[in-house]
């Protein structure tokens, strides 16, 4: 089982069939549910995914958000997902990433968690893929 930090871009794409990377995103979700991966996410991810689904879903956003919330509960219960709070140490390290790379705040928090845990950082975000050394699809 591989531990990975998965950016919200992947999770959102898995819920929205019209997203460019939908099929690729489903590979991560299916891998999680098969036991190939353990996802490590900052708690911020829950809000970020909910917000993105609400903004980008053309219909059925309530059902999609409900499914997301149930998935989080199920994955946490089954130890497939570990959520991390933003404590002072993580905040300071994420701030250092912000100063170094100029990424959006939420991206810095995901990147920091991947560095802290020394695990791969998976994302579809082009800026992160181009500029953050440990980011990959």
Indicate the pTM of the whole model. Answer: 0.92
- Structural domains of the chain ordered from first start: 2-85+119-132 (3.40.50.1010)
* Residue 16 near residue 57 (C-beta atoms within 8 A): yes
Angle value at C-alpha 104, between 101 and 110, nearest 5 degrees: 85
Mind listing the pLDDT tens digit of every residue in the chain (137 residues)?
999 999 999 999 999 998 999 999 999 999 999 999 999 999 999 999 999 999 988 889 999 899 999 999 999 999 999 999 999 999 999 999 999 999 999 999 999 999 999 999 999 999 999 998 888 99
Question: Which strands form 37-42's sheet, in the order they lie side by side?
Answer: 81-84, 37-42, 2-6, 121-122, 135-136
């Amino acid at each position: 089982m591989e531990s990975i930090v998965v950016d919200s871009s992947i999770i959102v794409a898995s819920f929205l069939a019209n997203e460019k990377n939908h099929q690729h995103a489903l590979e991560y979700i299916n891998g999680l549910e098969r036991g190939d991966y353990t996802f490590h996410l900052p708690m911020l991810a829950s809000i970020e995914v909910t917000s993105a689904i609400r903004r980008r879903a053309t219909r059925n956003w309530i059902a999609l958000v409900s499914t997301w919330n149930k998935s989080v509960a199920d994955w946490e219960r089954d130890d497939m997902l570990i959520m991390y709070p933003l404590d002072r140490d993580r905040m300071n390290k994420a701030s250092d990433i912000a100063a170094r790379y100029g990424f959006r705040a939420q991206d810095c928090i995901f990147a920091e968690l991947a560095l802290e845990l020394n695990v791969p950082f998976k994302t579809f975000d082009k800026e992160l893929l181009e500029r953050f050394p440990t980011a990959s699809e």
